[in-house]
Amino acid sequence: MKKIRVAFIISNLGQGGAERQFSYLINNVDKSRFEITTFLYACQTEPFYNDIENNKNIVLLKQKLTTKFSFLKILEAIINIRSFLIKNEFDVVVTFLFMNNFLVRLASPKTYYNKIVCSVRTSIKMYSKVHIVFEKLQMKKSILVFNSQKTANEFKKIFKVKYLKNTCIIYNGFLEIDNINRNNKNEYTFGCLGRLDKQKNFLQVAKIFNEIGQLNRENKLIIQGHFGDQYDEIINLGSLKNIELNEANPNVETFFSSINTLVLPSLSEGCPNVLFEALLRKKLCIISEGANTDGFIVDGMNGYVYDGSDKGLEVAMNNAVMISGNTKEKLIIENGYKYAKENFSMKVMISKYEELFKTIYENN
């Protein structure tokens, strides 16, 4: 049986939920059915998620951009991507994140129309009018995969009816955890994981933790992730007692084994990877309404949901500490674990992508 040739194209595998899912997908697609090539077209630094470099079943190509000027960088990237696609005959092309979606579709020759899979992981509210116009124009070239129902519904309103068949929903997938680590220290530790930028909103957690102090016991807050535009504000809060800032690390096990509760205060999310990683490790989770796009967490049942306000977060954090070690905490954690395991497994995600690749191949 002929293998379906699939190209995965992205600027680089830097830290981020999308990049992690991209890496998961590349590594776990059935290599007996699919021939996989990965092209990192702007690999200025070594990939953060570098496990694909050791996978002998994957052809990995890395290319650096040679210019320092923004416009010329974009032009060079387009030329590199187009050259890569013309020199090869792929059956399916896959890319994640807006800029990659934009460049790959712009660079692709007509032979790739209806063969390009673009993952859309951002609310339409984050798109400018120009971005929305481009998405409408490029719809005929591609199949859009949304990772949340809410995002899909938002975008479907702007597309012509004839293009709705070019959309689908595939939730993110996660590896099941064999060894679930627990924080057995006397202190109670909250954690935030991701980029330290305004969108992730970790500043709110640091402020609330800083203001309410010890929450009537010895507590700690760990914030781990890449430097972002909120880093200086967090540092400048004044008193960072019991707040620990850690650099990004592709191995997140140390982070999760150190915390009791994950706090996800994002202003908006598609399908928040870190939430399901925490649930699968049996961690209590607190999430903002903005991040809880598809109602992943039901307040008080499999985690805590707050309304985005400082007061709401304070109440949720206090609730988490108050139920620590009792029957209610164990029930909420177990409900969260079962929900994540049944709905967001790697096996389910990979199977859906493989069926999509097969359908694209057969239709073309």
Mean local confidence (pLDDT), 145-167: 87
Which helix (H) or strand (E) segment is 146 a member of?
strand 142-146
Mean local confidence (pLDDT), 16-30: 90
Mean local confidence (pLDDT), 246-260: 88
| Those residues with Cβ within 8 angstroms of residue 271's Cβ, 6 or more apart along the chain or in another chain | 121, 147, 148, 171, 172, 293, 294
Could you give the CA distance from residue 196 to residue 292 in angstroms, rounded to a whole number?
19
| Those residues with Cβ within 8 angstroms of residue 345's Cβ, 6 or more apart along the chain or in another chain | 173, 174, 176
**Statement: 4-173+346-363 belongs to CATH 3.40.50.2000:** yes
Residue type, 290: G
Q: In this predicted structure, which of 176-190, 247-261, 343-357 has the lowest mean pLDDT?
A: 176-190
Could you give the CA distance from residue 346 to residue 28 in angstroms, rounded to a whole number?
8
Biggest alpha carbon distance in the chain?
65
Provide the mean pLDDT of the chain.
89
Q: Quick check: 213 pLDDT over 60?
A: no
Percent of the chain with pLDDT over 70: 95
Nearest Cα neighbor of 58 from 69, 73, 47 is 47
Segments of the chain assigned to CATH 3.40.50.2000: 4-173+346-363, 188-343
Q: Per CATH, which fold does 188-343 belong to? A: Rossmann fold (3.40.50)
- The reported pLDDT for the residue numbered 232 is 84
* C-beta of residue 176 within 8 angstroms of C-beta of residue 28: no
Mean local confidence (pLDDT), 152-162: 86
- Tell me the pTM: 0.76
Confidence label for 288 from pLDDT (cuts 50, 70 and 90) = very high
Mean local confidence (pLDDT), 331-337: 96
